[in-house]
Structure 1
Amino acid sequence: MIIPLRDETLVLRKLLGYSAASSLIPTIGTDYDDSDDLLLAGSLMWDVLFVGIDVDTTEGYEELIPDQQFHIGFSLLDTRDLHSLVSATPEAKLDIIRSHQFTIGTSKYCKKAALRFLFGESEQLNSPEQVAVRFASLVPADRNVVYVAHGAKADLRVLVNCGITRRPIYTIDTVKAAQTPLQLTYRYSLEALLDRFGIPYKYLHAAGNDAHFCLRAMLMLAVVDGEQYQQPRLTSKSKLNDSDRLFSVLRSIAQAPRPLSKHEIEAPLKEEEMAHRLELKRAAKELRRAKRAAKTERRRLERESRSQDKAEEDDISGKPESESKSSSLF
Structure 2
Amino acid sequence: MPDSAARLARLRNSVQSDLDVLPHRPPPEPETISDDDTSGGVTLQDPPDKQPTPSSVADSVPSSAPPLTLKQAAKEKGTSDANTERRFVWKQGAASSYSLGSQPKLSALPTTKLARTNLTKGGLAQQKYFTPIAALAKYPYQFCNKSCMQDIASAFFDAGKFWAREWDLYYVWDIEETKPLILVSETQFEHLLKEINSALNLGLRITHQQREDGLVNRFPDHPRCLPRYLGRTHSKEEYDSMTANVPSATWRVAGEPAAPSLQARTLEDFKQMMEEMWELTKNKSKAVKEKKRLERINKQKTFTDQFKRAQRYLGLRATAQTGQLPTVPAAIDPSLPAPFQFDRSVVFVCVDVESYERAHHKITEIGIATLDTRDLADVAPGPDGVKWRAKIRAQHFRIQNHAHLVNSEFVSGCPDRFDFGQSTWTTLDEAPSRVADCFKPPFAARSDPSVEYAEEQRNLIFLGHDTITDVKYLQQMGFDPLKLPNLLEAHDTATMYRVWRREQNPTKLGNILYDFDIPGFNLHNAGNDAVFTIQAMLGICVREATIRGSPESKNMREEQKVAKLAQVQAEAKQAAEDLAFGWSDHEADGDGGGPEPIVIKETPITTNGSQGNGSSSTNGGGLCRGRGGGSIGSGRPASQGNGGHQGHSSFDGASARGGRQHPGRPQPSVRARDQGSGRGGGRGRARNTTDTPLLNDDFGASRPQVCNCLIDIS
State the match for 1:45 in structure 2. Answer: 342
Q: Are the counterparts in 1 of residues 316 and 542 from structure 2 also a CA contact under 8 Å?
A: no
Please tell me whether the aligned partners of residues 181 and 224 of structure 1 are also in contact (alpha carbons under 8 angstroms). Answer: no
Deviation at 1:70, TM superposition (A): 1.6
- Equivalent of residue 71 in structure 1, options 365, 370, 388: 365
Separation (CA, whole Å) in 2 of partners of 1:107 and 1:149: 24
Amino acid at match of 1:161: Q
Alignment of 1:48-197 (within 5 A): 48-57=346-355, 58-59=357-358, 64=361, 68-86=362-380, 95-104=390-399, 105-109=401-405, 113-127=414-428, 129-140=429-440, 142-166=457-481, 167=484, 168-197=487-516
Percent of aligned pairs with the same amino acid: 27
CA separation in 2, counterparts of 1:93 and 1:18? 13
Query: Cα gap change, 1:9/1:122 in structure 2, threshold over 3 Å: closer, same or farther?
Result: same
User: CA–CA distance in 2 between the matches of 1:172 and 1:94?
Assistant: 18
Which of the residues 517, 533, 538 maps onto 1:198? 517
What amino acid does structure 1 have at the position aligned with 2:348? F
Q: Which one scores higher on RCO, CA 8 angstroms, separation ≥ 6? A: 1
Higher relative helix content = 1
Q: Decide which structure has the larger Cα Rg and report it.
A: 2
Contact kept? 1:19, 1:230, Cα under 8 Å: no
> Does 2:515 align with 1:221?
no
Where 2:500 maps in the other structure, the secondary structure is coil
CA distance in 2, matches of 1:154, 1:93: 27
Change (3 A) 1:23 1:184: farther
User: Cα distance 1:107–1:186, how it changes in 2: closer, same or farther (>3 A)?
Assistant: closer
Q: How many residues align structurally? A: 208
Q: How many angstroms apart in 1 are the aligned matches of 2:391 and 2:304? A: 28
Note closer, same or farther for the CA distance 1:106–1:160 as it changes in structure 2 (3 Å cut).
closer
What per-residue deviation string (whole Å, max 9, x for no partner) do you get for residues 274-297 of structure 1? Answer: xxxxxxxxxxxxxxxxxxxxxxxx
How far residue 93 of structure 1 moved from its aligned partner, in angstroms, is 8.7
Q: How far did residue 83 of structure 1 move?
A: 1.5
Contact 1:53 1:211 in 2 (8 A): yes
State the 1:60 CA deviation.
5.5
Is the contact between residue 45 and residue 79 of structure 1 (CA under 8 Å) also seen in structure 2? yes
Aligned partners of 1:114 and 1:121 also within 8 Å: no
- Find out whether 1:207 has 2:522 as its counterpart: no
Deviations 1:34-69 (A, max 9, x none): xxxxxxxx95113111111111112555xx4xxx24
Q: Render the CA deviation track for 1:224-254: whole Å, top value 9, x for unaligned.
A: 22123379xxxxxxxxxxxxxxxxxxxxxxx
Unaligned runs of 5+ in 1: 25-41, 232-330
Compared CA separation, residues 70 and 48, structure 1 to 2 (3 A): same
1:15 maps to: 313
Deviations 1:270-322 (A, max 9, x none): xxxxxxxxxxxxxxxxxxxxxxxxxxxxxxxxxxxxxxxxxxxxxxxxxxxxx
Match of 1:210, SS? Answer: helix
Counterpart of 1:81 in structure 2: which amino acid? D
Using the alignment, how far apart are the partners of 1:99 and 1:183 within structure 2?
31
State the distance in 2 between where 1:60 and 1:219 align: 33
Contact 2:497 2:540 in 1 (8 A): yes
Counterpart secondary structure, 1:181? helix
- SS of 2:366's partner is strand
Deviation at residue 183 of structure 1 after TM alignment = 2.0
Structure 1 residues 107 and 154: CA distance shift in structure 2, 3 A: closer
Counterpart Cα distance in 2 of 1:169 and 1:155: 17
Q: CA deviation at 1:130?
A: 1.7
Residue type at the aligned position of 2:394: S
**AA matched with 2:433:** V
Instruction: Assess if the C-alpha contact under 8 Å between 2:317 and 2:340 holds in 1.
Output: no
TM-score, length of structure 2 as denominator length: 0.27
How far does residue 77 in structure 1 lie from its aligned partner after superposition? 0.7
Summarize the Cα distance change of 1:154–1:23 in structure 2 as closer, same or farther, 3 Å threshold: farther
Amino acid at match of 1:44: Q
| Aligned ranges 1:289-300 → 2 under 5 Å | none
Find the aligned partners of 1:53 and 1:183 in 2 and give their Cα distance. 25
Q: Classify 1:106/1:20 alpha carbon distance in 2 versus 1 (closer, same or farther; 3 Å).
A: closer
CA–CA separation in structure 2 for the residues paired with 1:124 and 1:202 = 22
| One-letter amino acid of the structure 1 residue matched with residue 391 of structure 2 | I
- Counterpart-to-counterpart distance in 1, 2:364 and 2:305: 31
Asked if 2 retains the 8 angstrom alpha-carbon contact of 1:49 and 1:144, the reply is yes
Q: Report the 3-state secondary structure (helix = DSSP H, G, I; strand = E; otherwise coil) of the residue aligned with 2:377.
A: helix
Q: What is the CA–CA distance in structure 1 between the aligned matches of 2:476 and 2:499, rounded to whole Å?
A: 32
Aligned-partner Cα distance in 1 for 2:367–2:396: 4
Shift of 1:8: 2.4
Measured after TM superposition, the shift of residue 138 of structure 1 is: 2.3
2-structure distance, mates of 1:60, 1:169: 32
Query: Counterpart of 2:160?
Result: none
Residues 59 and 143 of structure 1, relative CA distance in 2, 3 Å threshold: farther
Shift of 1:13: 2.1
Cα distance in 2 between the residues matched to 1:118 and 1:225: 28
d(CA) in 1 for partners of 2:501, 2:314: 19
Structure 1 residues 121 and 108, CA gap change in structure 2 (3 angstroms): farther
Change in CA separation of 1:83 and 1:122 when aligned onto 2, cut-off 3 Å? same
Q: TM-score, normalised by structure 1?
A: 0.55
Cα displacement (A) at 1:158: 0.9
